[in-house]
């Protein structure tokens, strides 16, 4: 029986993974949609703004640079594209609905789900760096490393939001306990992924570095 190929294993004639090419097209559609919502507000409660768009564009540019850099190092991070896109989708849903003020539970869910996905990205990235022997003998070390890096990304995001609020008079930082709750949900998302991953244990069929 023929084995179904992983999308990341399918390449164009130029050598670009299909998963990367498809994600780039979807990112382009995403950014066009954001611009449309900025120029012609469709959602009355929307908090989408240009500083936020520029922030997302900067993150995407960073993703592209990281892909090129690690591609030269023979490290494939193409798997990150659809996951980051999913995080972007969670984010715009929250912004369009003004979930931070109107539907706080959606805003909390956004942080939880986004950091489950980001933890998967960081986890897989480190497994591509760390030999399987390290992972098998020191799984909690790997988990602690992933937790630290991903948590730092969450804190960095909150700092960027604070800077944007100060410079452009936006409202990324909500009232009262918004920031602590965001960081708490980030940590819960990270912990949820790592707990499941540690319970499942290493994948014996993994093709990472030996």
Q: What is the pLDDT of residues 38-77, one digit of tens each?
A: 999 889 899 999 999 999 999 999 999 999 999 998 889 9
In a domain, 170, yes or no: yes
Task: Please check whether residue 117 lies inside any domain of the structure.
Answer: yes
Q: What is the pLDDT of residue 208?
A: 44
Does residue 145 contact residue 164 with C-beta atoms inside 8 Å? no
pLDDT of residue 15: 63
Nearest to 32 by CA among 44, 21, 20, 24: 24
Burial 149-163 (b: 16+ CB within 10 A, else e): bbbeebeebbeebee
* pLDDT tens figures, 67-98: 999 999 888 999 999 999 999 999 999 999 99
Domains held by the chain: number: 1
Position 210 in a domain: no
Helix, strand or coil, per DSSP, at residue 151: helix
pLDDT at residue 204 is higher than 60: no
Q: Where are the alpha helices (DSSP H) in the chain?
A: 18-39, 50-72, 80-96, 104-129, 132-137, 139-168, 178-200
Q: Are 111 and 182 in contact (CB under 8 A)?
A: yes
Identify whether 7 is part of a domain.
Answer: no
Q: How much is the pLDDT for 128? A: 82
Q: With pLDDT > 90 as the criterion, what percentage of the chain qualifies?
A: 73
User: In a 3-state reduction of DSSP, which class is residue 138?
Assistant: coil
The pLDDT of residue 5 = 53
4 pLDDT more than 60: no
* Structural domain contains residue 37: yes
pLDDT band at 9 (very low <50, low <70, confident <90, very high): low
Instruction: Name the pLDDT band for 207 (thresholds 50, 70, 90).
Output: very low
Mean pLDDT over each residue of the chain, to the nearest integer: 89
- Statement: residue 29 has pLDDT above 60: yes
pLDDT at site 169: 93
| 167, part of any domain | yes
Contacts of 167 (CB under 8 A, 6+ apart): 51
> Tens of pLDDT along 123-160?
999 988 887 788 878 899 999 999 999 999 999 999 99
pLDDT band at 12 (very low <50, low <70, confident <90, very high): low
Average pLDDT over residues 156-180: 93
Q: φ and ψ at 17, to 5 degrees? A: -60, 140
User: Is residue 6 domain-resident?
Assistant: no
What is the distance between the alpha carbons of residues 144 and 135, in angstroms, rounded to a whole number?
12
Question: What phi-psi label fits residue 104: left (phi over 0), alpha (psi between -120 and 50 degrees) or beta?
Answer: alpha
pLDDT on residue 155: 97
- At 7, the pLDDT band (50, 70, 90 cuts) reads low
Domain ranges, residue 158: 15-200
pLDDT tops 50 at residue 174: yes
């Amino acid at each position: 029986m023929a084995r179904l190929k992983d999308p990341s294993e399918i390449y164009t004639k130029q050598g670009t993974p299909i998963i990367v090419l498809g994600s780039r097209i979807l990112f382009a559609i995403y950014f066009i949609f954001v611009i449309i919502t900025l120029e012609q507000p469709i959602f009355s409660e929307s908090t989408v703004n240009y500083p936020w768009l520029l922030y997302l564009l900067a993150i995407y540019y960073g993703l592209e640079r990281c892909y090129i850099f690690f591609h030269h190092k023979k490290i494939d991070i193409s798997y990150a594209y659809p996951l980051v896109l999913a995080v972007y989708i969670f984010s715009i849903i929250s912004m369009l609905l003004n979930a931070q003020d109107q539907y706080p539970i959606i805003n909390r869910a956004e942080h939880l789900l986004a950091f489950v996905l980001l933890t998967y990205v960081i986890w897989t990235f480190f497994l591509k760096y760390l030999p399987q022997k390290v992972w098998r003998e020191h799984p909690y070390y790997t988990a602690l490393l992933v937790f630290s890096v991903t948590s730092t990304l969450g804190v960095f995001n909150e700092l960027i939001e604070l800077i944007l609020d100060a410079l452009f008079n936006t409202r990324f930082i909500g009232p009262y306990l918004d920031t602590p709750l965001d960081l708490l949900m980030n940590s819960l998302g990270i912990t949820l992924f790592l707990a499941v991953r540690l319970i499942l244990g290493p994948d014996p069929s993994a093709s990472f570095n030996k």
